Amino acid sequence: MQAFKQGVFYQIYPRSFKDSNGDGIGDIRGIIQKLDYLVSLGIKYVWLSPVYASPNVDFGYDISDYLSINPEYGTMADMDQLIKEGKKRGIHFVMDLVMNHTSSDHAWFKASLDPNSPYRDYYYHRPGKGKKLPNNWTSFFGEKAWSKNEDGTYYLHLFAQNQPDLNWDHPNMYNEFKHIIEFWLKKGIAGFRCDVVNVMYKTSLDNGKPRLFLKGLEKYHSTQKNHEILRRIRKELIEPYGAFLVGETVMVNTQQANDLLGNESEKELDMVFGFEHMDADQFLVKWFKRKFNPDKFNRILIQWQKDLPWNANYFENHDQPRSVSRYGSAHYHKESAKMLSTVLLTLKGSPFIYQGQEIGMTNVDYKSLDEYMDVETKNIWALAKKLWIPKFYRWHMIKTVSRDNARSPMQWDSMGGFSTGKPWLRINHNQKKINVAIQENDGDSILSYYKRLIKIRQQHPALIEGDFVPLIAKKGVFAYHRVLNNQKILVVSNMSTKYRKIKLNMDGEILLQNYPPMEMKRLRPYEARVIEVTHDQV
């Protein structure tokens, strides 16, 4: 079993994790200061969202130089030290690799604006069609997918207009990224999280067929050449370093996800972040929320557990609202945060904890649009306004879905503890109640629960290598076994506010539960239990 499958992952959004120099912006030296905290949590791998040079239109996912560090976050020497200090503590770093696009500030793009430049075809520069754009594609951020150059031609961007798409048909493109990938592997990183890795090869620029969202998707979604590029990267670059790839794969079902893992002879990714479970509370697109349906959520999780050999399990990240706000309950804040962690850390696959999730950080409490900084949020507000969506509903959309819900600074103590300066994004006012300092000294806190749960995971091979055997997924109750040889662990959770009777043999040693022990045949609201089933009940 590959080494990474033993460890728990933690995602750091560097801008909001810890500021070491008082400018209100998280930085690499701040992360170094918190490595011992991550050790105390039981973390083995850290996925670091981009720290490369960037004009911050998409806060790092618009890269202007893959081989230098955004000065706001520090220096390359800081980065080298972070990797070294991490290694000393048994913590390995996974860098964020954005191959679909660069920033429009990247030297390649600037050169490509000259039609005679050898960099011209690093991107998709195309003439309009009369008064029309080169095609009818729309972007992930709710805009048109083309923006105009000074010379009257247009360039393609599936994301913000400052994120021009790279042309992977260009003969140099592979070697450009070969150099970047090897540069970082030589620094001793463990692998890469690959951003929107299944849209990077466009088979044509023809008009897309009519669809509500992402017109043009079928021209670039998980294309054959995309697979070929991933196989080549894996074989030539990743395997020689014993590294691994976790791909962010948009709009895939489990069949398409498996295809992106490749097969024994032609591997591609080691695991993927899917989005289907994220659909359990949305209507058509992520911006229209409907009541969360825990059974739908759990049945999708079961599908992915059954269909894939190994999953990258996550319930929140820098793009998603906070899971305790979305899937849990404010009234049962502590119980529901602990229940969600119980599921996340006992599913088969690599668990990814997003910074702050381990203390139950919630969606932000911002009062006006100008408190938000996310480009996607601003674009969707403007688009919703253009579509005559009334202001009160636009506000509901933003409050429930904005990516800034997950980007407010980490709450280290009741004064914030994130920075001595004014944070770049306001800290949630509930920092007084929800913070690391309070919880580190409270054996009943969410943080203490995560620490115990991670230890239990490391002590029970069935929770890592064991088979996933679904038992119940109805009325909010989610129950399953993890079985390895004669070790059988029962995980049972109640993802609802109701008391739930369940007909399940729950005898055995209770390894962990989020309520005071009470022998009863029903589950309390948001109750979770991890039970080692004793042999005679096997």
Active site residue 248: yes
Least Å distance between CB 319 and ligand ISL? Answer: 4
- Shortest distance, CB of residue 278 to ligand ISL, whole angstroms? 7
Which one of 25, 38, 97, 98 is in contact with ligand ISL (CB under 6 A)?
98
From 58, 165, 195, 268, active-site residue: 195
Q: Which is nearer to ligand ISL, 97 or 528 (CB)?
A: 97
Strand residues in 235-324 grouped as ranges (E): 244-248, 271-273, 282-283, 285-289, 312-313
Indicate whether 145 belongs to the interface with ligand ISL (CB under 6 A): no
Strands, E assignment, 347-398? 350-354
Closer Cβ to ligand ISL, 270 or 319, answer by number: 319
250 binds, among Ca ion, ligand ISL, none (CB under 5 to 8 A by kind): ligand ISL
Residue 246 in contact with ligand ISL, rule: CB under 6 A? no
Q: Is residue 105 involved in binding Ca ion (CB under 5 A)? A: no
165 has catalytic annotation: no
Tell me: does residue 404 bind ligand ISL (CB under 6 A). no
Is 78 an interacting residue with respect to Ca ion (CB under 5 A)?
A: no
Nearest residue (CB) to Ca ion, 79 versus 495: 79
| Positions 1 through 60 that interact with Ca ion (CB under 5 A) | 19, 21, 23, 25, 27
Largest Cα separation within the chain, whole Å, is 77
Report the distance separating Cα 182 and Cα 168, nearest Å: 18
Interface residue with ligand ISL among 19, 281, 319, 335 (CB under 6 A) is: 319
Distance, in Å, from the CA atom of 11 to the CA atom of 29, rounded to the nearest integer, reads 16
Considering the rule CB under 6 A, would residue 159 count as an interface residue with ligand ISL? yes
- Helix, strand, or coil (residue 407): coil
Give SS3 for 336: helix
Handedness of CA 313, 319, 324, 329 (dihedral sign): negative
Phi-psi category of residue 97: left, alpha or beta, with phi > 0 → left and psi -120 to 50 → alpha? beta
C-alpha to C-alpha distance for 43 and 7, rounded to whole angstroms: 7
Contacted entry of Ca ion, ligand ISL, none for residue 195, CB cut-off 5 to 8 Å set by kind:
ligand ISL
CA distance 378 to 369: 8
Q: Which of 325, 301, 323, 326 is nearest to 311 (CA)?
A: 301
Contact partner, 23, from Ca ion, ligand ISL, none, Cβ < 5-8 Å per class: Ca ion
Contacts of 21 by beta carbon, 8 Å cutoff, 6+ apart: 27, 29
By annotation, the residues acting in catalysis are: 195, 248
> Where do contacts with Ca ion occur on this chain (CB under 5 A)?
19, 21, 23, 25, 27
> Where do contacts with ligand ISL occur on this chain (CB under 6 A)?
58, 61, 98, 140, 159, 195-196, 248, 250, 286, 318-319, 376
